[in-house]
């Protein structure tokens, strides 16, 4: 199916300890406040602290601190606009590196596994942290994220279970070149991505032309599969195709796909039944 065919946490009201869990994804401690959630997370020798609070109706202030780095985001859900930043503890500019992304990825998994009532503060913490866990080295931490449906994102909720073309560009190929385009199945849940090369394999393919691919919640905005409903959009579909076909999460050549998919991850609605 071509793109042209598509285009036509746990929070309570009272001040109380909310949850403490320990598992394969580390140890998560979450407490509720009158305005949101806060707590700590540790995995291996790494730890982080976080808070997510509603500073005014519809506006969430998120802070995540790890490895001497403070990540901040102010997210206005009413205007679909966010200001994201990050800096070292001494106030100097900094960037996320592989070790940071690995801790954040496990933190997001732990948040996903924790009980949540779907409050705006908890949901925003999850979405923003997921986005940080995929931020390449070469994307500035200080950036604006602004989106609007059908202009900045195109929902794939109606294409769940279908094959939809996904594509990227890089130093060798343009968008929709056969070598940078795949027929990708939207939303199929599995722990791996499968590629059809005469038979199905989980071996990552490097710019093989027009492969059929499925698995690991292809098209979902976020790393891997969430515990609940997926957020499926065209930009996230393209970002998945880039990082699963010859490039890594931190690849410079997927920066534009990541940036285009960021507002989808922050603001696009989830897809029921997925």
pLDDT band at 20 (very low <50, low <70, confident <90, very high): low
Q: Between 5 and 244, whose confidence is greater? A: 244
C-alpha R_g of the chain? 18
Residue 9 has pLDDT above 80, yes or no: no
Whether the CB-CB separation of 104 and 66 falls below 8 Å is answered with: yes
Residue 177: Cβ-neighbour burial (10 angstroms; 0-12, 13-18, 19+): middle
Strands in the chain per DSSP E: 16-23, 26-32, 36-43, 46-56, 59-66, 69-76, 81-88, 143-146, 163-167, 181-185, 194-196, 200-201, 212-214
Q: Which residue has the tokens 């989980």?
A: 202
Q: Which residue has the tokens 């590196």?
A: 97
Sheet with 59-66, strands from edge to edge, namely 16-23, 26-32, 36-43, 46-56, 59-66, 69-76, 81-88, 143-146
- Report d(CA 177, CA 214) in Å as an integer: 20
Residue 10 has pLDDT above 90, yes or no: no
pLDDT band at 196 (very low <50, low <70, confident <90, very high): very high
Sign of the CA dihedral 63, 52, 112, 123? Answer: negative
Give 67-114 pLDDT, tens digit per residue.
Answer: 999 999 999 999 999 999 999 877 677 788 899 999 999 999 999 987
Least-confidence region, from 4-8, 57-61, 220-224, 241-245: 4-8
Q: For residues 61-66, give the mean pLDDT.
A: 97
Sequence-separated (6 or more) residues with CB below 8 Å from residue 271:
155, 156, 157, 160, 187, 229, 230, 231, 232
Q: Output the average pLDDT for the chain.
A: 89
Least-confidence region, from 2-16, 56-70, 180-194, 218-232: 2-16
- Which helix (H) or strand (E) element contains residue 100? helix 98-113
Whether the CB-CB separation of 37 and 9 falls below 8 Å is answered with: yes
Which sequence spans correspond to the domains of the chain? 10-146, 157-267
- The predicted pLDDT at position 149 comes to 60
- The predicted pLDDT at position 7 comes to 47
Burial per residue of 193-227, b for 16 or more beta-carbon CB atoms within 10 angstroms, e otherwise: bbbeeeeeeeeebebeeebebbbbbbbbbbbebbe
């Amino acid at each position: 199916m071509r793109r042209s065919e598509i285009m036509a946490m746990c929070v309570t009201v009272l001040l109380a300890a909310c949850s403490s869990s320990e598992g394969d994804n580390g140890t998560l401690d979450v407490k509720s406040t009158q305005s949101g959630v806060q707590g700590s997370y540790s995995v291996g020798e790494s730890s982080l602290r976080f808070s997510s609070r509603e500073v005014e109706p519809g506006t969430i202030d998120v802070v995540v601190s790890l490895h001497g780095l403070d990540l901040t985001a102010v997210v206005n859900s009413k205007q679909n606009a966010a200001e994201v930043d990050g800096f070292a503890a001494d106030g100097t500019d900094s960037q996320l590196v592989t070790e940071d992304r690995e801790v954040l990825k496990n933190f997001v998994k732990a948040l996903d596994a924790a009980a949540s009532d779907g409050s705006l503060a908890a949901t925003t913490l999850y979405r923003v942290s997921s986005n940080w866990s995929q931020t390449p080295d070469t994307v500035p931490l200080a950036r604006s994220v602004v989106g609007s449906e059908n202009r900045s994102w195109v929902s794939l909720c109606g294409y769940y279970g279908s094959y939809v073309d996904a594509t990227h560009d890089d130093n060798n190929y343009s968008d929709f070149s056969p070598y940078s385009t795949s027929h990708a199945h939207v939303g199929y849940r599995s722990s791996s991505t499968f590629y059809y090369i005469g038979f199905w394999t989980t071996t990552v393919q490097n710019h093989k032309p027009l492969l059929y691919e499925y698995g690991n919640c292809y098209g979902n905005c976020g790393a891997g599969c969430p515990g609940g409903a997926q957020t499926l959009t065209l930009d996230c579909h393209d970002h998945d195709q880039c990082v699963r076909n010859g490039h890594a999460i931190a690849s410079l050549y997927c920066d534009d796909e990541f940036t285009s998919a960021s507002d989808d991850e922050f603001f696009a609605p989830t897809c029921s039944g997925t």
